[in-house]
Structure 1
Amino acid sequence: MARTIRIEAFGGPEVLQLADLPVPDPAAGQVRLRQHAIGVNFIDVYHRTGLYPNTLPLNLGMEAAGEVIAVGEGVTHLKEGDRVAYASGPLGSYTEERTMPAQNVCRLPDGISYETGAAMMLKGLTVQYLLKKCKPVEGLHAGDYVLFHAGAGGVGLIACQWARHLGLRLIATAGSEEKCRLALENGAAYAINYRTEDFVARVKDITGGQGVKVVYDSIGKDTWEGSLDCLQPFGLMVTFGNASGPVPPFAPAVLAAKGSLYVTRQTLFAHTTSRERTQAMADDLFEVVTSGAVKIHIDQRFALADAADAHRALEARKTTGSTILLP
C-alpha cells in the first residue's frame, strides 16, 4: 500500500484526499518506482478543477523522481536501483510508490538530486520545447527579443536562464517588484511588473517600437490581447497555459490586422510521444543543469499530506520557482 493523493469530485483544494492504495507489480513495459520527491505544477490544478476533464476517482500529479524497485518484461533502458525522473502520464505522481509505463521515465544523472529532478522535469522539458521548437517563421537568433509571462514562476525562472544561455533578450512579466528582481537575477534582460505598468507599452519602449519575435504565454485570458499587441509582424504567439482562464474564441482576421501573426497552442506531451524524443529533450535539459547554466530553484516544500496547501499557494500566486511534495 502507498499513501496517495486522489480526488473523488472536481473542485477546490479541499477535494484533495490522502488514501492508502495498492501498488500493482509492473506488467510488460512498466516499472515500479519508490518516489523521493514529487513536482507540483499548474496543470495539476486544471486536472483537480476539471478544466482538463478526466474520469473520477482520479490520482493527481505528472512529475516525480525516485528509484526503480521493479521492472516489467521488455523494459531495457532501466533496471532495478536506477535513479530516475519523469514528467508524463498517466496521472498519479502524488504518491509514495507507483507502477507506470517506462517509456518516458528517464535515468537521472548522479549530479542531480531527487528534489531537483522532481522540480525540473515538467517545467524544464516545457522550456526546452518552447525555446528550441516553438520558433517564429524567421527563426530565433542571439540578440532577439522574446516576451515570457510569469517570469518568476517555476517555468519562468528556467526560461530566463536558458534564454540568456542562448543569447536571447528575454523580457519577463511578473506580479510584484520582488518577483521582477528574481527574474532579473536569473537572466531576464528586462522585467515588467504588470500590476503597476502597462506591459504592452513597456515592451514597445524596450524594443524601440518593433515588438518581440515571440510571446510565451501561460496566463491565458488576461494577457491574450496584450500579448498579440507585443508581437512584431510575422511574430509567433505561443500559448501553453490558462492560469487566468481559457483564451476566448477569436476571429482569425485579428491576426491579419495585427501584423500577419502566427498562433500555436502547445502541450509538452505532443513533444514526448516516443522514448527517443523524450530522452533527447531530457538530455538537453540535464546538460544545461549539470553545466550550471540553469539552476533549479525549489522555493516551496510541502509534505505529501499537505498537497492542498501547496495548491492554495500556487493558485494564489504566492509561489516562486518550483514547488515539491515530500512523501
Structure 2
Amino acid sequence: MPYAMTAPHPGGADVLTKVEIELPDLGAGEVLIRHTAVGLNFLDAYYRSGAYAWPVEKDLVVGSEAAGVIEKLGPGVTGWAVGDRVAYTVPTGAYASHRSISQDALVKVPNGVSDEDAASSLLKGLTAYYLLHESFKVKRGDRILFHAAAGGVGSIAGQWLSHLGATAIGTAGGAAKCDAARRSGFQYVIDYRSEDFVERVKLTTDGLGVDAVFDSVGADTYPGSLKCLKPFGTLICFGQSSGPIKNFAVSDLASGSFTVTRPVLFHYTRNRAWLEKAAAALFGMILSEKIERFAGETFPLDRVGEAHRKLERRETTGSVVLIP
C-alpha cells in the first residue's frame, strides 16, 4: 500500500508518522512517481520542527529531494515517458512511496548515476552549484571558508572548490568529520570543537582573511564568520543548523565593506533553463568522477525519525538516503 511519513503538527522527530495514502489523480502537466530513494536534508528538519513556516494547515509530508520512476502521465505532459528515471528537489512532499509532481520540477537521471546517488546529491549539489557559481563566483586562487565541511553540501562543495582551483578551508566537528572533509578536497580543516576557527583562519591566510565564507550553521558561527573575511569579502548565509542569527545589524558590515547574502535554492530552480544547466553540470561532475558518489548511510523511509535525530545531533557524515 502506498504510504507517506507525515507530521500532524510541528515538533520533534517523533511526530513523523507513517500513513497509508491513495494514489492521487493527476492534474495537467503532472506525473506520478514511484520513489526508489529519498534524500535527507536539514531543510526537512527545519520544516518538521516549525522553524520554517508550514505550507499546509496540518499533516505535512516533509522531504525535499527524491529519485524514482515515472509510473503515469497526466494530461498535457510532453517530453517524458512511463519508465523514465527522474529526480527532483522541491521544499516538501518527498517522504512518500509515491507522489504526483509537475513535470517542470523533474530532471532526467543519466545512465551511470544510480537512484541513490541522484537522491543524495541533487538538492545538495544544486546548492553547491549556485553557491559557487552564482552567490559568489569562485575563481582560481580565491580563499574560501566553508562551514560544516563534512556535511552533505560541504562534501560536494569541497570537491567542486578543488576543481575550481580555490584554496578551501573547512570547519567540522571531531577527528572523523575533519578527516572526511580532507578527503572531500579541503586543503585546511579546522576542528571547531577544539580550535578557534577565527584564529586558525587568520593563521592560515597570514592575517589576510578569506574572500568568502559559506555559512549554513548560523547562530554558532556568527559573527565569527564576518571576522574571517578580508576587506570587501562576502558572507553567504544559506542555512541555520544551530539556530537563526539574531544579532545581525547592517552596521556590522562597515568594518570591512562586506557583502552579505541569503540565497534560497528554490528561487533558482523556478527557472527551468537554470535547473537543466545546473543539473547537467552536477551529473557531469559525478560521471567524470570529479565529484565522488557519496550516498552514505541508509534508513528505511519509515524510520526517518531516527535519521532526523542523528542529523540534528550532527552525527551524520556526507548524505543519508531513505529507502521506501
Q: Is the 8 A contact 1:84 1:108 kept in 2?
A: yes
What is the deviation of 1:185?
A: 1.3
Q: Is the 8 A contact 1:78 1:107 kept in 2?
A: no
What residue in structure 1 maps to residue 19 of structure 2?
19
| Stretch of structure 1 that moved more, 75-84 or 116-125 | 75-84
Per-residue CA deviations over 1:144-170 (Å, capped at 9, x if unaligned) read 110000000111110111110111111
1:273 matched to 2:275? The reply is no
Per-residue CA deviations over 1:20-59 (Å, capped at 9, x if unaligned) read 0112132111110011000010000000011111121101
Find 1:189's aligned residue among 179, 187, 190. Answer: 187
What is the deviation of 1:296?
A: 2.9
1:300 matched to 2:297? The reply is yes
- Looking at structure 1, the residues matched to 271 and 132 of structure 2 have their Cα atoms a distance apart, in angstroms, of 20
- Looking at structure 1, the residues matched to 27 and 135 of structure 2 have their Cα atoms a distance apart, in angstroms, of 36
The one-letter code of the counterpart of 2:210 is V
The one-letter code of the counterpart of 1:124 is G
What is the deviation of 1:251?
A: 2.0
Find 1:144's aligned residue among 125, 142, 145. Answer: 142
Find 2:321's aligned residue among 298, 309, 324. Answer: 324
What residue in structure 1 maps to residue 101 of structure 2?
100
What residue in structure 1 maps to residue 115 of structure 2?
114
Per-residue CA deviations over 1:280-316 (Å, capped at 9, x if unaligned) read 1101111101100001312210001101000000001
Q: Any stretches of 5+ residues in structure 1 without a counterpart? A: none
Aligned partner of residue 271 in structure 1, secondary structure: helix
Q: Is the 8 A contact 1:103 1:274 kept in 2?
A: no
Listed as ranges, the matches of 1:131-210 within 5 Å are 131-135=132-136, 140-210=138-208
- When the two structures are aligned, how many residues end up with a matched partner? 322
The one-letter code of the counterpart of 2:322 is L
The one-letter code of the counterpart of 1:226 is G
Q: Any stretches of 5+ residues in structure 2 without a counterpart? A: none
- Looking at structure 1, the residues matched to 222 and 297 of structure 2 have their Cα atoms a distance apart, in angstroms, of 29
What residue in structure 2 maps to residue 241 of structure 1?
239
- Looking at structure 2, the residues matched to 77 and 220 of structure 1 have their Cα atoms a distance apart, in angstroms, of 41
Listed as ranges, the matches of 1:280-291 within 5 Å are 280-291=277-288
What is the deviation of 1:250?
A: 2.2
Per-residue CA deviations over 1:118-146 (Å, capped at 9, x if unaligned) read 000100000000011111xxx53212110
Find 2:73's aligned residue among 67, 71, 74. Answer: 71
The one-letter code of the counterpart of 1:26 is L
Listed as ranges, the matches of 1:35-50 within 5 Å are 35-50=35-50
- Looking at structure 1, the residues matched to 309 and 95 of structure 2 have their Cα atoms a distance apart, in angstroms, of 16
Aligned partner of residue 222 in structure 1, secondary structure: coil
What is the deviation of 1:249?
A: 4.0
Percent identity of paired positions between Structure 1 and Structure 2: 44
1:80 matched to 2:82? The reply is yes
Q: Is the 8 A contact 1:63 1:93 kept in 2?
A: yes
What residue in structure 2 maps to residue 10 of structure 1?
10
What is the deviation of 1:80?
A: 1.1
- Looking at structure 2, the residues matched to 277 and 134 of structure 1 have their Cα atoms a distance apart, in angstroms, of 14
Q: Is the 8 A contact 2:138 2:164 kept in 1?
A: no
Aligned partner of residue 269 in structure 2, secondary structure: coil
- Looking at structure 1, the residues matched to 126 and 319 of structure 2 have their Cα atoms a distance apart, in angstroms, of 14
Listed as ranges, the matches of 1:52-67 within 5 Å are 52-54=52-54, 55=56, 56-67=58-69
- Looking at structure 1, the residues matched to 99 and 183 of structure 2 have their Cα atoms a distance apart, in angstroms, of 37
- Looking at structure 2, the residues matched to 242 and 145 of structure 1 have their Cα atoms a distance apart, in angstroms, of 23
Moved over 3 A (4+): none
**Root mean square deviation, CA, Å:** 1.0
What is the deviation of 1:74?
A: 2.4
The one-letter code of the counterpart of 1:197 is E
Aligned partner of residue 162 in structure 1, secondary structure: helix
- Looking at structure 2, the residues matched to 141 and 13 of structure 1 have their Cα atoms a distance apart, in angstroms, of 40
What is the deviation of 1:73?
A: 2.2
What is the deviation of 1:252?
A: 1.1
What residue in structure 2 maps to residue 263 of structure 1?
260
Normalising by structure 1, report the TM-score.
0.96
Normalising by structure 2, report the TM-score.
0.97
